[in-house]
Structures are given as structure tokens and as C-alpha cells.
Amino acid sequence: MPRPRNDTFLRACLREPTDYTPLWLMRQAGRYLPEYNATRARAGSFMGLATNPDYATEVTLQPLARYALDAAILFSDILTVPDAMGLGLTFAAGEGPRFASPLRDEAAVAALRVPDLERLRYVFDAVRSIRRALADSVPLIGFAGSPWTLACYMVEGAGSDDYRLVKSMLYARPDLMHRILEVNAQAVAAYLNAQIAAGAQAVMLFDSWGGVLADGAFQRFSLEYTRRVVHALMREHEGERVPCIVFTKGGAPWLEEIAACGADVVGLDWTANLGRARQRVDDRVALQGNLDPAVLFAPPTVVAAQARAVLDGFGSPRRADGRWGGHVFNLGHGINQHTPPEHVTALVEAVHAHSRALRRAT
């Protein structure tokens, strides 16, 4: 399996020298793009898109046709895994996801099993289809939700603003919570390894709700299971390293601990200062992030200035001691559906141009 012609993203993940800072955007194939909305209308629903490899391929490639992005990311959803476990996922119009059978009692938790990966075959088919369509232009990132983040949805049955049910279980019945997390960790590791086997050239774990946990609980109920997944991953496939990214929204307080979980890259939201973050981890991992997606509502000149500020915050990836730090530019969270698409053009140009200039200056 050859490296893609543009391997800047992979090199930055592995802290190898690069000519510029690569970028991709969380949720880059999404509702801010008119062509995405057109495909989604044809597919009928979000899961109609995600479960059809042709549609999934089409929308995955849409942002790459518009922008000089340095990676593609599989079009899918983190909730495919609990759906395959039999929890019954639906997306009601105008609402978020909902599970018909959330985990609310001991019997439901005891019955939880690692799903047959055959039920997720549409995902691996999509990975193969996207790889063919990309034709080794840029790498493809696979992904999954972290065991804790999946557990939040599986217990709450939907999004939540206080996480009352899942935190009640965590504090009152930690034994049940640990069982869910153990099953999730095994399922997520198997799921990501199957994505790698199908052709994903990097994988990312989204711990979207790790940051709602208290210090102490985060380490025991989120990070520990993320660590188990990371350690169970294939890190090389067909002779190439497969970088692993861990992103914890709100995880800045625990950066050093997250950086020690075995991942190659730690994703940061916009509350982190990249320069300080880099000092804290001493470039032992690469960093991904961290522009506030709300910056993209501002005019293109402001977008460019704010992008340059993020790059300047990280500084030159080349260190005085000859080693390289790694920086993958991204937003600190998914791109907002109200983003004007032309502002993304300004972002991509600014990141590529300014990061080349930074390297020349140092």
C-alpha cells in the first residue's frame, strides 16, 4: 500500500519534517456545504448517507473538491457501534440521535455484547470505496467514539446537558459503568482495526464528552478505556505506520495524562494555548487543533489573521535540538453548519501560506 502523494498529514502526525502545516476540518463533509445537503436530500436521511458506501464516498470527497485539504475523513457517525450492538439508533428530523433501547438497568448492561462486525460492514465497504476514489491523493482517516463518549449516549439514550443518568450510574453503580466501558473498548478497538484493514491510513478517537467528567473520574472512566483501545490498535498496516489521534473536548486540564495514553497525536479544543501545550508535552506527541469554529463566521481577513495566530502559537515545528514537533491544523470542534463555505477557502490558504513562511523564517 503506497503512501499517498500528499503525505504531509501523516508526516506531521509522526513528527517528521514537513514543508507546511497540513490541515483538515472536523466534520468537513457536512451541512455547511450545499452539495452535501443535495446528496443528503437524495439519500433521505443521515443514516441513509452513512450506510450507503456510494453516498458516503460522494460526501467524503466533496470538501476535497473545493479545498486543498490534506486528509479525507470517513463519512460516518460514532453511534454506528452502539447501533450495531442493538440499541436502535434513529435521527429524528431537527433533533439529535436517539436510541430506542438505552442501557438503564443491570439486565441491559449484562446483555451488552461486542457486536458482530458484519453488522458494520457498510462502514468497511465505505472505507474501501473512498480509498479507491481518493486514488492515493491524500490519506483517509477512520474514526470511532471513545468508550466513555459512546457510554454517555448509550445510557442517556440521547444527547444531554447534565449527563444525569450516565453520571448517576457512574457514581452509584461503577461496576455497571466499568462493564459498559470494557465492552465498548473491545468493540471500538475491533471496529478501528477493521477500518485499518479496509484501508484507513490513520484513526481518530473522539472523546467528545470526556470533558464533562470530574478530575479523577475522567482518568478512571474515560482515559483508561481510551488507553486500552489505543494499545489494542494495529499501529502498522502493509508496511506503513497508522497514526492514532485522541481528541478529548475540554481535555486541556489533563493534557499530560492524555499525551501518555499511547496516541501519536492529541487533539485540543480552542481553550488550549498551543505553545503552552507543546511545552507541557515537550513534543512527545503531535498536536492537532485548535481554531474556534466560530472564527469562520468572521470575514476572510479575520479568519486568516486568527489562523496565523494559531500557527504562531505553536511556533516552528523545527526544534533547536533538531527534533521536529508535529502540528496538524484543525478546528477545536466540528465545523458549524452556518459557516460560509468561502471562508473555509481563506482558512486553507492562510494555513498553507503562513506555515510555509514560518518554516522559512526559522
User: Shortest approach of a copy of itself to residue 325 CB, angstroms?
Assistant: 18
Q: Which of 217, 260, 281, 353 binds a copy of itself (CB under 8 A)?
A: 217
The catalytically annotated residue of 11, 40, 98, 278 is: 40
- Contact letters for a copy of itself, residues 32-71 (x by CB under 8 A): ----------------------------------------
> Can you give the length of the chain in residues?
362
Provide the Cα torsion 232, 233, 239, 244; round to 10°: -140
User: Shortest approach of a copy of itself to residue 207 CB, angstroms?
Assistant: 13
Q: Which of 100, 111, 158, 214 binds a copy of itself (CB under 8 A)?
A: 214
121 counts as catalytic: no
Q: Which of 225, 247, 270, 324 binds a copy of itself (CB under 8 A)?
A: 270
5 counts as catalytic: no
Three cell numbers, residue 280: 507541557
Residue 164 interacts with a copy of itself (CB under 8 A)?
Answer: yes
40 counts as catalytic: yes
User: Shortest approach of a copy of itself to residue 117 CB, angstroms?
Assistant: 34
Residues 81 to 100 in contact with a copy of itself, rule: CB under 8 A: none
Three cell numbers, residue 130: 473512498
What is the phi/psi pair of residue 255, to 5°?
Answer: -55, -45
Residues 278 to 317 in contact with a copy of itself, rule: CB under 8 A: 290-295, 297-299, 302, 306, 309, 313
Residue 332 interacts with a copy of itself (CB under 8 A)?
Answer: yes
- What's the DSSP call for residue 170? H
31 counts as catalytic: yes
From the list 257, 264, 315, the residue with the least C-alpha distance to 285 is: 264
Rounded Cα distance between 356 and 20, Å, is 5
Q: Collect all residues with Cβ–Cβ distance below 8 Å to 215 and sequence separation of at least 6.
A: 253, 254
Q: Which is nearer to a copy of itself, 192 or 310 (CB)?
A: 310
Residue 185: exposure state from Cβ atoms within 10 A (0-12, 13-18, ≥19): buried
User: Shortest approach of a copy of itself to residue 15 CB, angstroms?
Assistant: 23
Q: Which of 6, 45, 101, 271 binds a copy of itself (CB under 8 A)?
A: 271
Opening angle at CA 217, ends 283 and 173, nearest 5: 150
Residue 156: exposure state from Cβ atoms within 10 A (0-12, 13-18, ≥19): buried
Residue 125: exposure state from Cβ atoms within 10 A (0-12, 13-18, ≥19): middle
- Residues with a known catalytic role: 27, 31, 40, 77, 153
In the complex, the residues that contact a copy of itself under the rule CB under 8 A are 162-164, 167-168, 170-172, 211, 213-218, 250, 252-254, 270-273, 290-295, 297-299, 302, 306, 309, 313, 332, 336, 338
